[in-house]
Structures are given as structure tokens and as C-alpha cells.
Structure 1
Amino acid sequence: MRIALCGGTGDIGAGLALRFACDTDHELLIGSRDPEKARATVEEYRETLEDRDLEASIKGFDNAMAADRADVVVLAVPPYHVRDTVESIADRLDSSTTLVSPAVGMQRDDAGLHYNRPSAGSVTAMVAASAPDEVPIVGAFHSLSAGKLADLDRELSEDTLLVGDDEDGLDTVERLAEGIEGLRALRAGPIANAAEVESLTPLLINLAGNNADLHDVGVRFE
């Protein structure tokens, strides 16, 4: 499967790219607004993998070119760039491309981080409103620690919650997520439930910030 990570030069993009490269044989397409930055970042990822005697099919493009070649497109960008990124790649998407949103809107004050719910109801809903109607949308990977993902010496044992209205899209992302060793995908319902899923992220960050033994905390449901 061809996986495009638009914004794949950032923290969550790096973590997902390295885990997919380490644990799966998917072809990875790293996207950026700046294709030169994407290609330079790919070289960094290759060096990390080579240090572990790993090889992967991984290439860098601008976001539109990466999306044009992909079966799954992950919007690994901050929430305030989500709408612009979707609009910039919209003509490269169709019903055969699953669009995945891990972004979460958050605000910080003296107490910590708080969920910043967008007017669409959730970032996932905002993606769905911005994308072409026929494109399957799935919210996933919200509560994963980017730092923990990128550290290939650390084992994962956690869940990612999926929300979506398209069963085929959910099936695709479930298979993709569970290709990462130690990661389990659980379905949390339709996109209407995305706010509840996204709001877990600031909670987890606040837990990590207030408890020294909970650095890079994740969730596992039993």
C-alpha cells in the first residue's frame, strides 16, 4: 500500500513514518509544502533506519504529488493547517483514497492544555467538510506520542481510536494501524464522535506533565 504523510516532516509525521518503515512493507511518500525539505527529511529517516539495518521504500515530494500517488493520505499537519492542506490536495483525492486526520485542536493556559473544539465540531469533521464528498475520512492516531513513535528502541503497547462514516475506510486504517507492532485499533463510532476521541489528547499531555512516571503516556483499554 502507498501511504502519503502530508506534513510528514513534522513530529507526528516522523513518528508514523519511522514506525511504518520499521514494521511494514508499505511504500511511504513524505509530503511537505517544500519538496526539498521533504527530500532532505527522507534522507534523515533513511539514516535512522540504516543504523538499525533496516530498508524501506520512502521518497519525498510536495504534498500534492505525495497525495496523488497514495492509497492512504495522513494529514500529519497542525490543526490550523488542515483546511489549507486538504484544499491544496483535493484534486488528487477520490473515492479510492482514504484520508486520515490525527490533528487535535488545543489551547494552553496556566492550568495546562484544553481541547479547542472547532466550529465544525471536531478537526475530523472539519476535514470531512473540506474534502471532496466521495473521499472516505477517518480520524486516527490522535493520542499517540510522537516522541515515543519516533524512538524505535521503545516498545508500544497502546490503542488508537478510529472514527469514521465509511466502513471500507475504517477497515483500511484499522489494517494500517495494526501493522505497527504493539498498536491496536479500536472503533469509536462515526465522525460525530470525533470530539470525544480528540479531547483525550490534551488530557494525556496534562497527565504526562503532572506525573513524572507518565512521560509519553498512551491509552490501553481493557
Structure 2
Amino acid sequence: MRIALLGGTGDIGQALALRWARDTGHEILVGSRDPEKARTKAGEYETELDSVGVERDVKGFANEMAADRADVVVLAVPAFHVRDLVESIADRIEDADVLVSPAVGMDRDDEGFHYKPPKAGSVTQLVADAAPEGVPVVGAFHNLSADRLANLDVELDLDTLVVGDDEDAVETVVQLGDQIEGLRALKAGGIANAAEVESMTPLLINLAVENDGMHDVGVKFE
């Protein structure tokens, strides 16, 4: 399977790229608005993987070209860029592709971080509204610490919640989540439930800010 991480030069894109490249045999494509930046970062990821004894080929492309080549497309960009990104790749994705959105709308003030969903109700729903008809959208990987995920020396013991209306697409993303060592992907219902999942992210960030030793806090359901 080919996985494209659009905006894959950023924090969550890097983290998922490294983990999937280390723990699976899937082909990893790094996308960026600047293809040269994507190629440079892909090379850096290869070096990082080599440092832990993993020899992998990671390719870098412009976002549109990465999406065109992929089976699963992860929109690893901030919430305020996600609609423009979907529109820019609309003619490069097919019905068989799966769009994955880990983005969360947030604001910050003196009291901390606060959930700020778009008018659609959630970022996952915004992506679903913007996606071409027939392209399934799944929300996942919202509540993970990118720093923790990107540190390959850290053993994970975390859950991620997966929402979506297409059962096959949800199952694909659940399997991809489970293939990351130490991560368990749990189904949390349809896209109508995305706001509940996304809203946990600012809560976790506030916990990390307010409590010593919880910089990389995550969630585990028992």
C-alpha cells in the first residue's frame, strides 16, 4: 500500500511517516507544496530510520503528485489549510482512495487551548464536505503527541480513535493504526462523532502544559 502524507514535512506528518516506515512495509510518500522540501525531508527521514537500523526508501513529491500515487492520503496540515489542500488534490484522488484527517480546530488564549470547530461541526466533516463525491473520509490520529510518536526510541502504549461513515475505509485506517507498534486504533462511530474525538486534543495539550512530566500525554482506554 502507498501512503501519502501531505504536509508530511510537519510534526504529525513526520511522526506518522517514521512510524509507518519503521513498523510496516507500506511505501511512504512525503508531500509538500515545495517538492524540493519534500525530497529533503524524505532524505532526513531515511537517515533517522537508518540510525535505528531500518533501511527504507522514502520518496518526496509535491502534494498533488504524492496524492496521485497513493492509496491512502493523510492530510497532515493545520485545520485552517485543510480545505484548500483537499481542493488542490481533488482531481488526483479516486474513489478507491481514502482521505485521513488528523487535524483539529483550536484557539489559544491566556487560559489555555480551546476547541474551535469549523462551521461544518468538525474538521473531519469539513474534509468530507470538500472531498470529491465517492472519496471516503476518515478522522484519526487526532489525540497523539507528534513529539512522542516521532521519537523512535519511545515505546508507545496508546489508543487512537477512528471515525468515518465508510466501513471499508474505517477498517483500512484501523489496520494502519494497529500496525504501528504500541498503538491501538479503536472505532468511535461515524463522522457525526468527530467533534467529540477532536475536542479531546486541546484538553490533552492543556494537561501537558499544566502538569510536569506530562509533555507527551496521550490516551489509553481500559
The TM-score with structure 2 as length reference comes to 0.99
Which residue number corresponds to residue 192 of structure 1?
192
Which residue number corresponds to residue 63 of structure 1?
63
Aligned pairs for 1:178-217 within 5 A: 178-217=178-217
Is 1:93 the equivalent of 2:70? Answer: no
Shift of 1:215: 1.7
Is 1:72 the equivalent of 2:64? Answer: no
CA-to-aligned-CA distance 1:143-182 (integer Å, 9 cap, x gap): 0000001100001001000000000000100111111000
CA-to-aligned-CA distance 1:62-116 (integer Å, 9 cap, x gap): 0010000101000000111100100010111121100000000000011100000
CA contact (8 A) 1:27 1:56 kept: no
CA contact (8 A) 2:46 2:57 kept: no
Structure 1: state its 5+ residue gaps: none
SS of structure 2 residue aligned to 1:168: helix
Which residue number corresponds to residue 12 of structure 2?
12
| Higher alpha-carbon deviation: 82-91 or 49-58 | 49-58
SS of structure 2 residue aligned to 1:3: strand
| Higher alpha-carbon deviation: 186-195 or 49-58 | 49-58
Shift of 1:57: 3.0
Which one-letter code corresponds to 1:76 in the other structure?
A
CA contact (8 A) 2:43 2:58 kept: no
Which residue number corresponds to residue 172 of structure 1?
172
SS of structure 1 residue aligned to 2:177: helix
Shift of 1:187: 0.8
Number of aligned pairs? 222
State the distance in 2 between where 1:134 and 1:57 align.
Answer: 31
CA contact (8 A) 1:26 1:57 kept: no
Which one-letter code corresponds to 1:89 in the other structure?
I
CA contact (8 A) 2:125 2:194 kept: yes
State the distance in 1 between where 2:56 and 2:25 align.
Answer: 7
Which residue number corresponds to residue 140 of structure 2?
140
SS of structure 2 residue aligned to 1:125: helix
CA contact (8 A) 1:104 1:142 kept: yes
CA contact (8 A) 1:3 1:74 kept: yes
Aligned pairs for 1:97-112 within 5 A: 97-112=97-112
Hey, which bits of structure 1, 4+ residues long, moved more than 6 A?
Answer: none
Which one-letter code corresponds to 1:168 in the other structure?
D
State the distance in 1 between where 2:213 and 2:85 align.
Answer: 36
CA contact (8 A) 1:8 1:76 kept: yes
State the distance in 2 between where 1:56 and 1:133 align.
Answer: 35
CA contact (8 A) 1:31 1:60 kept: yes
Shift of 1:51: 1.1
| Percent identity of paired positions between Structure 1 and Structure 2 | 68
Which residue number corresponds to residue 38 of structure 2?
38
CA-to-aligned-CA distance 1:12-44 (integer Å, 9 cap, x gap): 000000000111110001000000000000111
Shift of 1:214: 1.4
Structure 2: state its 5+ residue gaps: none
State the distance in 2 between where 1:176 and 1:10 align.
Answer: 20
Shift of 1:188: 0.8
CA-to-aligned-CA distance 1:185-220 (integer Å, 9 cap, x gap): 111110011000000000000001111021210000
The TM-score with structure 1 as length reference comes to 0.99
| Higher alpha-carbon deviation: 47-56 or 115-124 | 47-56
SS of structure 1 residue aligned to 2:213: helix
